[in-house]
Structure 1
Amino acid sequence: MKITGYRTLTAQQHWRRSIGDVNGHINEAVTEVPIVILETDSGLEGVGIGSHADLGRLFPAIEGEDPRGTAALFDRMLAQVFKSGHAGATYGGIATFDAAIWDLKAKAADEPLWRTLGGRDRFVPGYASGLDIALDDEELAAFYAEFAERGFVAGKLKGGLDLDADLRRLGILGDALRANTSRPGLMFDSNESWQVKQAVRYVSALEEHVDLLWVEEPLRRWDANGHARLSASIRAAVATGENLTGVDQFRPLFDAGAPDIVQAGAIWGVSHLHRLSLAAAARDLPVSPVGYNANPAVAHVMTAVPNHLTTEVQALTFADGVVVDHEFTDGGIVLSDAPGSGIRIDEALIDRHRDGGGWADPAGPHMRPTRAGLRVVLDGVER
């Protein structure tokens, strides 16, 4: 079996709610979901979700190759962009091709991807994450109540500007999840909006009232020493890493003892996530991928590593035309027994359901405010 070509599609996730974080939000959000279909001379096709970045430059590294050589093909793609570097957007293209290659390998073996990777159990523990900073209190309660009905016992709140509001909203989240447990797991995500001492003061104030499992991305992603200082100053674990591209970028954080929980963004592929998980395991650190809905293949990896903690689930649906064979139940994800990653693409449905401006909304959370990390906020209002 040889790789012969690829084609790209872009589906849309209709969230049917506002999504965002401290950096901004999108009302009635619609975001784009890039898809790659990898073609072979055998007729099998592999599906990867994540990014269309630099696919044309990367494809010569895998064209004509047997997709069952997953590790070697991942390294060939890294070598293909040796001079310009693989960090940033380019890594998204590498990872999306990589996910499609792994899908092909599992399909060729006629087994689910989790089995190909060496997993024993197809259940993956998860937590609910509403991307919820723009939801009002009633909407917030309804979102987490829906997850509680599926057995979820942990959830993550977006915040970081208004302490009183965040305490109230953490209470709403916790109340919804108490349907299943007397001690729900509460996480808090400030999306790189603080400096070190801001983070110490804010989290310490939260911890006077709430027992947090972790605080996520409190500082800029590269601030290894700052994360280590913060971790030593608060009770909650410090979780970070979702925006780093490549295992190599984690080295300064590992060397500084910065992360208590190692995170990986969903678009960064199967091979990367597997290698990162083992690097974290060698340091006795748990790993937690974010954004399962953006790339369901990541959950398969978590069945085959020794240090998976929990996986972020942001919705109970997927992009229109992206059909995922799984089930949300018992507080997690039950993966498919079908060959491959369990993802099927309905191209006609993608075309019929295109509507909305997507992630490019300038008010959205992908744009960092100019005053982020520089705000003097006393009561939720910067003056």
Structure 2
Amino acid sequence: MKITGYSITLFEHSLNRRMGDANSPSGRIRGSSNVLELFTDEGLTGVSFGGGGAGPQIKSMVEGMLMGEDPRRVTGLWKRMVDRAFKAGHDGVVNDAIAVLDVALWDLKAKANDEPLWKTLGGSNPKVHAYASGLDSPLSDDEIEDWYGMMAADWGFKGGKLKVGLDQDADIRRIGRMKKGLERATDTPILYIDANEVWNPKMAIRKVREMEEQFDIAWVEEPARRWDFLGLRRISDQIKSPVCAGENLDSLGDFLPYFHNRSADVVQVSHGMTGITCALQLADAAYGFELPITLGGSPGNMNAQLAPCIPNFQTLEVQNSEPDDGVMTSDIKIVDGWAVCGDKPGTGVSFDPEALAKQKVEKVSASAGPSPFGRRPGAGLWDNPPTKEELAAAASGVNGEHYVPAHGSKTQ
């Protein structure tokens, strides 16, 4: 089998709810992605989502290194791409290019094996523990309870992760509302919080300790800047809750200070960290330090395919129980709060060609990017609660309406 060509297609879509975090409390109502297809001389096509801003890098790597190669030699091709980027490093947009290509190669390898990726990777149980992740800063208190209640009642989730960081009184109140929603599925919900690096260590310690007076927090994610490995260790030492970190790192080298300084109690990895190949390397390294792994959000919950072969896997982030963009399809189903990988060959995540053609764009609009507002002014320096304008934008919901649950009534 040989790689004979490729295709890159950008598309935009409406979100099913307004999404945001401490850096963007007003949220956004549109998202975007990129579909990469790798073609072969045997009629199999590798599919991957991501790398929207890395088109030139993807083109260079496919045409300069992958054309004519056997896609089943995934690890060797991954090493070749990483070595090519050695001098400047493979963080940032180069990382995005290698990551999306690596996923497409693994998709091809599993398809060539005529089996789902979780089997190709050596997993034995396709059932993966998961939690609901709201990206919910723009949602009202009532909408918080309603969304987590829907995820609990309709999909069986017994754990959830709330965005926090800007308003301590509101955060404590909203943790309670998330808990109440999740109690539709269990009397003992798992409560995670995520500050998205908006605090400094002192702020994090003070605020989390106050939260811990009322709630059993299963972890606090990104309570300080990603590279402040000493600050993260300091936080971990002075709160009861585990510290979860790593979401925005790209390579094994980025994680080494975390491992050597025990900066994170739970390590978050994803296929976006230079691909599935690197994600599994990171999971193995964490296993050597007896650190649990959580897999971050992913298109069609594709990261679930990695979990069955990770011995220290803890739980999977699920932002949507089913694809909501109108383009993507997924063979990974949510059943009673678990992600269950199917038997479809490959990653199980693909797309509807007709829908993709309708939503194709030449250039992604600024408001549809993954983090259109960047880092919040004052983050890590002082408290900066949402402005009146941000609160008004958040209250407008999607298309002027509040969040409509997938299987419920519109909140008022």
TM-score (norm 2): 0.87
Deviation at 1:180, TM superposition (A): 2.1
Equivalence for 1:203: 208
Deviation at 1:352, TM superposition (A): 2.0
- Structure-to-structure mapping, 1:212-251, within 5 angstroms: 212-251=217-256
Q: Pick closer, same or farther for the CA change 1:85–1:27 going to 2, 3 Å.
A: closer
Equivalence for 2:136: 132
| Partners of 2:322 and 2:330 within 8 A in 1 | no
In the alignment, the residues of structure 2 paired with residue 357 and residue 76 of structure 1 have an alpha-carbon distance, to the nearest angstrom, of: 30
In the alignment, the residues of structure 2 paired with residue 345 and residue 357 of structure 1 have an alpha-carbon distance, to the nearest angstrom, of: 19
Query: Comparing 71-80 with 176-185, which one deviates more in the overlay?
Result: 176-185
- Structure-to-structure mapping, 1:1-383, within 5 angstroms: 1-25=1-25, 27=27, 29-52=29-52, 53=54, 54-59=57-62, 60-149=64-153, 150-268=155-273, 269-292=275-298, 294=299, 296-318=301-323, 319-353=325-359, 360=367, 366-376=373-383
Q: Pick closer, same or farther for the CA change 1:28–1:341 going to 2, 3 Å.
A: same
| Partners of 2:236 and 2:243 within 8 A in 1 | yes
Deviation at 1:289, TM superposition (A): 1.5
TM-score (norm 1): 0.94
Give the share of equivalent positions with the same residue, in percent.
Answer: 38
Deviation at 1:277, TM superposition (A): 0.7
Query: Comparing 231-240 with 48-57, which one deviates more in the overlay?
Result: 48-57
In the alignment, the residues of structure 2 paired with residue 368 and residue 192 of structure 1 have an alpha-carbon distance, to the nearest angstrom, of: 9
Q: Pick closer, same or farther for the CA change 1:357–1:169 going to 2, 3 Å.
A: farther
In the alignment, the residues of structure 2 paired with residue 82 and residue 132 of structure 1 have an alpha-carbon distance, to the nearest angstrom, of: 38
In the alignment, the residues of structure 1 paired with residue 32 and residue 262 of structure 2 have an alpha-carbon distance, to the nearest angstrom, of: 36
What is the one-letter code of the residue matched to 2:306?
V
Q: Pick closer, same or farther for the CA change 1:230–1:162 going to 2, 3 Å.
A: same
Deviation at 1:61, TM superposition (A): 2.2
Deviation at 1:141, TM superposition (A): 1.5
SS at structure 2 position matched to 1:201 = helix
| Partners of 2:300 and 2:328 within 8 A in 1 | no
Deviation at 1:107, TM superposition (A): 0.4
| Partners of 1:102 and 1:113 within 8 A in 2 | yes
Query: Comparing 76-85 with 198-207, which one deviates more in the overlay?
Result: 76-85
In the alignment, the residues of structure 2 paired with residue 140 and residue 189 of structure 1 have an alpha-carbon distance, to the nearest angstrom, of: 15
SS at structure 1 position matched to 2:294 = strand
Q: Pick closer, same or farther for the CA change 1:271–1:281 going to 2, 3 Å.
A: same
Query: Which digits, 9 at most, give the CA deviation of each residue in 1:199-258, with x for residues without a partner?
Result: 110111111111100000011101111111110000000000011011111001111110
Q: Pick closer, same or farther for the CA change 1:5–1:240 going to 2, 3 Å.
A: same
Query: Which digits, 9 at most, give the CA deviation of each residue in 1:48-76, with x for residues without a partner?
Result: 11214111232222221111111111111
Query: Comparing 351-360 with 155-164, which one deviates more in the overlay?
Result: 351-360
What is the one-letter code of the residue matched to 1:369?
R
Which runs of 5 or more residues in structure 1 are unaligned? none
Q: Pick closer, same or farther for the CA change 1:369–1:27 going to 2, 3 Å.
A: closer
In the alignment, the residues of structure 2 paired with residue 155 and residue 325 of structure 1 have an alpha-carbon distance, to the nearest angstrom, of: 23
In the alignment, the residues of structure 1 paired with residue 138 and residue 271 of structure 2 have an alpha-carbon distance, to the nearest angstrom, of: 23
In the alignment, the residues of structure 2 paired with residue 363 and residue 304 of structure 1 have an alpha-carbon distance, to the nearest angstrom, of: 29
Deviation at 1:344, TM superposition (A): 2.2
| Matched length | 380
In the alignment, the residues of structure 1 paired with residue 68 and residue 150 of structure 2 have an alpha-carbon distance, to the nearest angstrom, of: 46
SS at structure 1 position matched to 2:249 = coil
| Partners of 1:227 and 1:238 within 8 A in 2 | yes
SS at structure 1 position matched to 2:210 = helix
Query: Which digits, 9 at most, give the CA deviation of each residue in 1:166-220, with x for residues without a partner?
Result: 1111111111111222211001111001111011101111111111000000111
In the alignment, the residues of structure 1 paired with residue 67 and residue 383 of structure 2 have an alpha-carbon distance, to the nearest angstrom, of: 53
SS at structure 2 position matched to 1:202 = helix
SS at structure 2 position matched to 1:198 = helix
In the alignment, the residues of structure 2 paired with residue 3 and residue 363 of structure 1 have an alpha-carbon distance, to the nearest angstrom, of: 30
Q: Pick closer, same or farther for the CA change 1:263–1:165 going to 2, 3 Å.
A: same
In the alignment, the residues of structure 2 paired with residue 125 and residue 322 of structure 1 have an alpha-carbon distance, to the nearest angstrom, of: 22
Query: Comparing 266-275 with 256-265, which one deviates more in the overlay?
Result: 266-275
| Partners of 1:25 and 1:363 within 8 A in 2 | no
Which runs of 5 or more residues in structure 2 are unaligned? 389-412
In the alignment, the residues of structure 1 paired with residue 163 and residue 143 of structure 2 have an alpha-carbon distance, to the nearest angstrom, of: 14
What is the one-letter code of the residue matched to 1:58?
M
SS at structure 2 position matched to 1:16 = strand
What is the one-letter code of the residue matched to 1:138?
D
Deviation at 1:137, TM superposition (A): 1.5
Deviation at 1:310, TM superposition (A): 0.5
User: How big is the alpha-carbon RMSD for the aligned residues of Structure 1 and Structure 2?
Assistant: 2.1
